[in-house]
Structure 1
C-alpha cells in the first residue's frame, strides 16, 4: 500500500499562510508568492499539491482563483496532481476548477448543506475527482471555514458521502490542527475502518513519527502544513521515512 505526503499551500489575501486551527489573524507563516512555494514543493519531490483558498473558506470570496490557475499551469504539465478546496459552495464553482485542470475538488460546507451536490458532481465528472472534507472538532463536523459546527460525526458523513459517489475523504482533526503538538490517530483510524474509499489525513503532524503513525491507520495520504513550514522536518525526509517504512513491509 502506498502512502503519500502532500504539502499544503493555504492561500489568504494572495499569500501563502499557515493559520493556527484555521483562525483568521493567527498566521504563524506568511509568504508573498504561493506559486513559488508550490514550485519549491514540487522541486523537493511532491507528487500532489493541496491548495486551499482560505478567503473562499472563511469569507466566501474566492479571490485566489488566479493564483490557483497559475499553479495548475506550472505544475500540471510536470505530472503533479492538484487538489483544491476552500469556498467551493456550488456545482459551478467545482466545475470551473475541474475545467482548468484541477484533479480533485474538495467540498465541505456545500456537501454538508446539500449532500446531493456530491452525487451530481460525481455523475458529471467521475468520483475520483470529488473529495469531501470532513473537518472534525469535538467529535462533530465543522463547516464555513471551521466557524460553525454541524450536528453530524465524521463517520456518519463519511458513510453517506461514499454512497453518494465521493471518491475520497479529507479528514482533518481540528482539535490538533496547527498546534504542532502531535497527532491523535484514533479518529482517523475509526473513519478509515468505516468507509472503503481512500481517506487523506490532516491535522497536528509535528514529527516523522506522526507520519508513520498515520500511515498505520490505513489512511492513503497525509496533508502536512505547519510542520514543513516551520522546519520540523523536510519534505525529502518525510518521503524517505515513508519509503523506508514501505520497504520494511
Structure 2
C-alpha cells in the first residue's frame, strides 16, 4: 500500500481544511516545498498536492508553489484542484508533475476526460471521486451532485480510467477514521485501483485499509499533528517491514 503524504495549498501555504470547509483552515507550513522535502527524507515514494484555491476557481492558482515542490524533491508528485482543460494539464506537467487528478470536470465534461486519456494515458490521468453520503461532490466540494460514487466509477472505467482517488469529505480533516467500507465497495464494484483519502487518524486506520486490500492512501492532518509517524508507516505498510 503506497502512502501519499498530502500537501494542500491555499495562498501558497501548506494548510488543512475540515470537511472541505474554507472557513475551517489550519496553516501548518508557509513553505510547501520544505514540507515536501521533509516527506521525501522520511521515505515517501510520492507526494500528493492539492491546489485548494484552484479547486474553487476552476484554474491553477498555486502553480509556482507547485513547481517549487516538484523541483524540491526527486520523488513523483501527483496533483489536483481546478484542472478543467488540456491546457491546465499541460501547465501541471510543465511544472514537473507526474500525474494529474481530474475531479469536477470528469463529471461535467466527460469529453474532456476522454481527450485527456487519449493524449496522456491512464498512467498520467487520475480521477478524483469526492463523495458526501455516497453522492459525488463537485466544485471544491461546494456542490453535491445526484450521481452515486460507484456509478461515476463505472463510467470512468468505461472511458479508460484505471485509478481514482476516493475521498469521503464528511471525514476529511476530522481524524475520525477512513470509510473503509465505502472505499472497498467502490474498488469491488468498479474494478478500479482506488487511493483512499479522508479521516485517517492512526496506524490502526492504516492497518484497516491495508487489510482491506486498498492499494494507496493519502494522509495529511494525522502526519502534521504527529498521530502517524510517516517513516514507521512506510516501513510497515509500503515496504512490509517491522517498524
TM-score range, shorter chain: over 0.9
TM-superposition CA deviations, 1:163-191 (whole Å, max 9, x none): 11223100001121111111221100100
Deviates more, 1:202-211 or 1:110-119: 110-119
TM-superposition CA deviations, 1:145-164 (whole Å, max 9, x none): 10001111111011111111
Equivalent in 110, 129, 142 of residue 147 of structure 1: 142
Higher strand share: 2
TM-superposition CA deviations, 1:200-223 (whole Å, max 9, x none): 000100110101111223221000
Deviates more, 1:134-143 or 1:213-222: 213-222
Q: Structure 1 length normalisation: TM-score? A: 0.92
**1:88 equivalent in alignment to 2:88:** no
Offset of residue 58 of structure 1: 2.0
Partner of 1:212: 207
Tell me, which stretches of 5 or more residues in structure 1 are unaligned? Answer: none
| Equivalent-residue separation in structure 2 for 1:36 and 1:101 (angstroms) | 16
Q: Structure 2 length normalisation: TM-score? A: 0.95
The answer (yes or no) to whether the contact 1:201–1:222 under 8 Å persists in 2 is: yes
Partner of 2:10: 12
Partner of 2:62: 64
| Equivalent-residue separation in structure 1 for 2:196 and 2:178 (angstroms) | 10
**1:133 equivalent in alignment to 2:131:** no
Alignment of 1:223-234 (within 5 A): 223-234=218-229
Tell me, which stretches of 5 or more residues in structure 2 are unaligned? Answer: none
| Equivalent-residue separation in structure 2 for 1:184 and 1:25 (angstroms) | 24
Deviates more, 1:152-161 or 1:54-63: 54-63
Offset of residue 73 of structure 1: 1.9
The answer (yes or no) to whether the contact 2:59–2:84 under 8 Å persists in 1 is: no
Partner of 1:184: 179
Instruction: Compute the RMSD of aligned alpha carbons.
Output: 1.6
C-alpha spacing 1:171/1:238, structure 2 compared with 1 (3 Å)? same
Task: List structure 1 runs of 4+ shifted beyond 3 angstroms.
Answer: none
